Amino acid sequence: MTLSIWRYAHLILALVSFVFLSMASITGSILAINAIKEKSSSYSIHGLNHVSLAQTISSLQTKVQEISELEVSENSYVKLRGIDKSGDDVEVYINPKTGEMLGKPKDKSQFILWITSLHRSLFLHETGRILVGINAFLLFLIVSSGSILIIRRQKNIKNFFSKIKKATFSQYYHTLFGRLMLIPILIISITGSYLSLDRFNFFSKKEYNTILNLPKLSDESTHIAYKDIPLFSTIKLSEIRKVEFPFSDDPDEYFIIKLKDREITVDQFMGSIVSQKDFPLSQKLINVSLDLHTGRTNIIWATFLLVSSLFILFFIGSGFTITLKRSKSKLKNKYKASESKIIILVGSENGSTFSYANAIHQQLLSQNYTSHLTELNKYQLFQNAEYLLILTSTYGLGDAPSNAQKFESLLNAYPQNRAIKFSVIGFGSKSYKDFCLYAKNVNEKIKVQSWSQQLIEMHTVNDQSSDDFVKWIKEWNNKTKLKLYADTHYYSQRPKNIKKMKVEEVYIPKDTNDTFIVKLNPGKRKYNSGDILAVYPCKDKRERYYSIAKIDNEIQLSIKYYPSGLASEYLINSISGDFIYGRIINNIPFHFPIKATQVVMIANGTGIGPFLGMISQNVKKRKIYLYGGFRQETEIVLRYKDFLEEQINKNKLEKYSLSFSSNSENKYVMDLLRKDYDFLVNLLENNGAIMICGSLQMQVSVEEVLDDILFKRTNKKCSDYKKNGQILTDCY
């Protein structure tokens, strides 16, 4: 194969996956930092490979009255569950060498749980996990094709680490760091792919049992001390995942020792091995893959993962810079620069500015004007130019984009030999303090040229706003005979199928505007409660998503208000009779489960929105139970309650329970679930369904409660019911 074929393969793979890889790299960096933080904690005990189980038990004898369980986490935290000397239950991290109690376990940060969920599934559940797995494999292919490119560029595999010759800045460091980070990134991609395959049961999970029929004594007089059991002196804590101690002196109660590669049952009287379950090779590979992919067991490797994740972002940026430089140098023009009257120069790091420049260029050509479009780095002597248009973005802290870095030196090297009217348009975002700084610098440098005549004061375009751009178009049209389209729609890049929807009502409670309700008339469009409405508050490509409730053939949105928020500010200021722009996105995975005879709906805050519509649409009068969590009983919550009471009277809702976290009771929706644990278990075991909508933090907490309830009674977890379509989630 030629070098170009491998180059295109490398590029296509990067284009297909760069969004996912960017997000995975950012979230992976955060998780690596968290792994480093956890391994640096005072709870993390070093040298567990030198501490035996017998030593640990001996060190705890004077500290606690009874041990029920010891658990060793991947980050070397040793957790004790048991009864202290005062007879109280205790759950605490310990130092196994001394028996010292270090502190009580704390729940994992909600932010880290959110990042973990995003990293693993993109909040798209099983579909997201498939996408993540595919992109992990694509990363492997990208690394492989990149390695082949280096080999072919260096002429021979023996020269893989030889000096890099004839390369631009981006090419040089892309290749240099690519060679250095090759192995760590390969490990990330391979382990990520393997874990995704395992998630979908691609590998056998069969356990191989070895039963040892050794004599077992039940006579309590032969009971040896736990610390004297021979096996306990040979097992090191670094091998252990969990040790469950006998609950009583019943002969049928054993030690259950769960190691990384096997599970051992030990007789509590003689200390003999009763049985052993060896994990299959696939399970051992999963453990190794998790260790390598997360850095959970080694702070040095976690640091390598952090660096590797950051370098993946670097490779994405430098790779596209290389591609842009190549592609921009191949711009085709109908007229040469030397014969054109209108010269359009572009400075763009990501190419978006070219779309605006090309829109102007094509209009001028259609009007039979000689126009030439190129990048700022191709500035030269323009012998017949009458107009010079410059459209440029700003890179970094007011710097030139990569295709404009030579412009200043070229400007000084090629003074024009005739008067030229010029205009500069800057592109950027006002959220950055260096907004359009490079464009401003270019404008000032051209102004001082002896040949330049400023036709229009410099204009700026914020966040690709077509409205801002059209302001410049209108002024250009007033100053010249060269008329351009002054319609924002021509320059906007909105998705298709966006429709106008009439605002029927905006309900803003008097006591607080934290949450408000908007009712829309969508016309004859088909939709269901649980679908998504993408709202375009600026009539361009910027969109915001809201979950739909279908009530009386209208769309009802429950919206959390954010001061200065792009969409919530736009919607809260709408009035009846206004029109908004939006499109309906079908969200079948969160439609009401029509085959379920009973459905429990769990929500917090505005997550109750789609459930109100589903209850309203319950024409077959299936049994629906709603659990809602709110901060306090506000006016809008009272409105919800009135609606729910009405639905109960219509036999569309069986029951609802609400909790309030900021009042004297200080209860959360999870507290309501714990109270009704028997009902929830029976519902799922009898083909009922649970739907969860609201914040991602709430979803995580609810699933933890459900996991605890379900596992104790059915030996199942939420994931098992999700596979059956009995637990549906739509959280954000």
pLDDT in tens, 130-163: 888 888 888 888 888 877 777 766 656 766 776 6
The structure tokens listed for 691 are: 């739907």
Last residue in a domain, options 491, 520, 548: 491
Within-domain flag for 88: no
**Model confidence pLDDT, tens digit, residues 44-57:** 888 899 999 999 99
pLDDT value at position 2?
45
CA dihedral 571, 575, 577, 578 (to 10 degrees): -40
Last residue in a domain, options 572, 589, 606: 589
Segment 591-619 mean pLDDT = 93
Provide the number of structural domains found in the chain. Answer: 5
Q: Three-state SS for 346?
A: strand
Within-domain flag for 179: yes
Within-domain flag for 120: yes
User: Which domain covers residue 428, as residue numbers?
Assistant: 331-491
Q: Do 373 and 441 fall into the same domain?
A: yes
Q: Do 508 and 445 fall into the same domain?
A: no
Q: Do 439 and 416 fall into the same domain?
A: yes
Cα–Cα dist 80/70, whole Å: 5
**Model confidence pLDDT, tens digit, residues 436-482:** 999 999 999 999 999 999 999 999 998 778 889 999 999 999 999 88
**Model confidence pLDDT, tens digit, residues 171-185:** 778 778 888 888 888
Q: Residue 373: which CATH number?
A: 3.40.50.360
pLDDT value at position 205?
57
Q: Residue 515: which CATH number?
A: 2.40.30.10
The answer on pLDDT for 212 being more than 60 is no
Cα–Cα dist 590/347, whole Å: 45
pLDDT value at position 170?
72
Q: Do 181 and 256 fall into the same domain?
A: no
Last residue in a domain, options 541, 564, 589: 589
**Model confidence pLDDT, tens digit, residues 485-525:** 888 777 775 556 788 899 999 999 988 878 999 999 998 88
pLDDT value at position 394?
87
Percent of the chain topping pLDDT 90:
42
Q: Do 682 and 626 fall into the same domain?
A: yes
Q: Do 387 and 308 fall into the same domain?
A: no
Q: Answer whether 214's CB lies under 8 Å from 33's CB.
A: no
- Counting Cα atoms < 13 Å in the Cβ hemisphere of 197 gives 17
CA dihedral 389, 391, 395, 399 (to 10 degrees): 20
The answer on pLDDT for 550 being more than 90 is yes
Q: Do 147 and 178 fall into the same domain?
A: yes
Q: Do 197 and 225 fall into the same domain?
A: no
Q: Residue 622: which CATH number?
A: 3.40.50.80
Residues 6+ apart with CB under 8 A from 420: 382, 385, 386, 387, 388, 451, 452, 453
Cα–Cα dist 311/317, whole Å: 10
Residue bearing the bigger pLDDT, 343 or 86: 343
Q: Do 24 and 132 fall into the same domain?
A: yes
pLDDT value at position 329?
43
The answer on pLDDT for 3 being more than 70 is no
Segment 600-612 mean pLDDT = 95
pLDDT value at position 81?
92
Q: Do 254 and 387 fall into the same domain?
A: no
Kindly give the pairing relationship between strand 420-428 and strand 387-393: parallel
The structure tokens listed for 291 are: 């260790």
Q: Do 379 and 481 fall into the same domain?
A: yes
Segment 413-421 mean pLDDT = 94
pLDDT tier, 354 (very low <50, low <70, confident <90, very high otherwise): confident
Within-domain flag for 71: no
Q: Is the dihedral of CA 406, 409, 414, 416 positive or negative?
A: positive
The answer on pLDDT for 6 being more than 70 is no
Q: Do 545 and 621 fall into the same domain?
A: no
Within-domain flag for 102: no
Within-domain flag for 598: yes
Q: Three-state SS for 206?
A: coil
Segment 600-627 mean pLDDT = 93
Count other Cβ atoms within 10 Å, centred on residue 662.
10
Q: Answer whether 607's CB lies under 8 Å from 694's CB.
A: yes
DSSP notation for 25-88: HHHHHHHHHHHHHHHTSTTBPS-GGG-BHHHHHHHHTTTEEEEEEEEE-TTSBEEEEEEETTS-
pLDDT tier, 259 (very low <50, low <70, confident <90, very high otherwise): very high
**Model confidence pLDDT, tens digit, residues 643-681:** 999 999 999 999 999 999 887 778 899 999 999 999 999
Within-domain flag for 293: yes
**Model confidence pLDDT, tens digit, residues 22-81:** 888 899 889 889 888 888 888 988 889 999 999 999 899 888 888 999 999 888 899 999
**Model confidence pLDDT, tens digit, residues 78-123:** 999 999 888 888 999 999 999 899 999 888 888 988 998 888 888 8
Cα–Cα dist 523/666, whole Å: 43
Instruction: Show the beta-strand stretches assigned E in 77-136.
Output: 78-84, 89-94, 101-103
pLDDT value at position 603?
95
Within-domain flag for 459: yes
Residue with tokens 């006016």: 635
**Model confidence pLDDT, tens digit, residues 394-413:** 875 678 887 898 999 999 99
